Amino acid sequence: MARDQCRPPGMRARPGRKGAVTYYMLSKSGRRIVLGKDFTLACARWVHEQKEQVKESPPATASGLLDAFVQCSLPQPNERAAVIRYVELNTLRDYFSARGDPGYDVINSEKCFLSWCKRDNRVRIPDGPIRLFRRVWKFALELDLTKRPCPWNPVDLRSLRVTLEAVDVLSMYATGSLRHLLLQILGKGDSSGTTIGQSSAMEYETSLAKDLLGAIDRAISSLRASGRAQLVPRIAGITSAELVKLLETPEIVLARPPGRLLLEHRRLELKEALNSERRTASKKAATQPMTAERGSADLSVRVDRTETHAQCPD
């Protein structure tokens, strides 16, 4: 049975005389616990039994809580999801192990985990393990293992990554104080250069906004010419105030783009030129008339074949 391959650990199947399958599991004492013949209901009952076992021996540390969560979790639906879950769990285990495997009721905020990721460069996308840990904490609350709200707040770096991609593109066309600010955001600038406080704040904001408009126009033209219009809405909506605030966001270190987009190849122009050549060649082939020489050649071939066939003996 195909779906038996997705049975959680410890669930067994006993086929009946008429082909019906009964699912069951064994308790710690060896007692058989019948889970039923419906696979979906059997999985729900398996989860319930696993949670009851966790309640009997509740975990006391963060690593123990992770193990209990895994014990009560059904298999992932596909190989890719299983690999992601494996990597995220190992990341959390490494983090708590580095902190001495603390009791889960004294775990600090997610900022400690983000600092660990930044310092050790252990994971490039830390928001995945954070989301998983929030699920683990919800599991602990459901089993009354703790009454404390989850100490880790959700962190979504996906929109921040898109914004930093836009900043990276803008930095190619920025000048003056704007370029200095963008390079600082990307971690490529010198923080000892020009800052907002060196001159009048009003003059600085006016100059920044003016330079930003010009950089946005040049960046959008280049993106459209290179066939990368996905970033156009984000770049068009970016403001100087947002850039200044972005510089003070600690998560930018974890979301900076690993490389630079290539915008010099003019992909759309090359594609249009190739399509134009193909259309021209297609029109020439369709309008080219059949010559008399080709028609006579075909006729002679048919005549020769007829004469040859007439001379053949029976």
Domain count, the chain: 3
Among 14-28, 198-212, 284-298, name the one with the lowest average pLDDT: 284-298
Q: In percent, how much of the chain has pLDDT > 90? A: 45
Highest mean pLDDT among 6-15, 130-139, 290-299: 130-139
3-state secondary structure string across the chain: CHHHHHCCCCCEEEECCCCCEEEEEECCCCCEEEEECCHHHHHHHHHHHHHHHHHHCCCCCHHHHHHHHHHCCCCCCCHHHHHHHHHHHHHHHHHHHHCCCCCHHHCCCHHHHHHHHHHHCCCCCCHHHHHHHHHHHHHHHHCCCCCCCCCCCCCCCHHHHHHHHHHHHHHCCCCHHHHHHHHHHCCCCCCCCCCHHHCCHHHHHHHHHHHHHHHHHHHHHHHHHCCCHHHHHHHHCCCHHHHHHHHCCCCHHHHCCCCCCCCCCCHHHHHHHHHHHHHHHHHHHHHCCCCHHHHHHHHHHHHHHHHHHHHCCC
Is pLDDT larger for residue 68 or for residue 249?
Answer: 68
pLDDT tens digit sequence for 261-270: 666 655 556 5
Domain ranges, residue 25: 1-56
Same domain? For 175 and 109 the reply is no
> Average per-residue pLDDT in the chain?
81
Whole-number pLDDT of residue 27? 86
Last residue of a domain, which of 202, 227, 255?
255
Among 214-218, 229-233, 291-295, name the one with the lowest average pLDDT: 291-295
Whole-number pLDDT of residue 159? 87
Residue 213 included in any domain: yes
Same domain? For 139 and 198 the reply is no
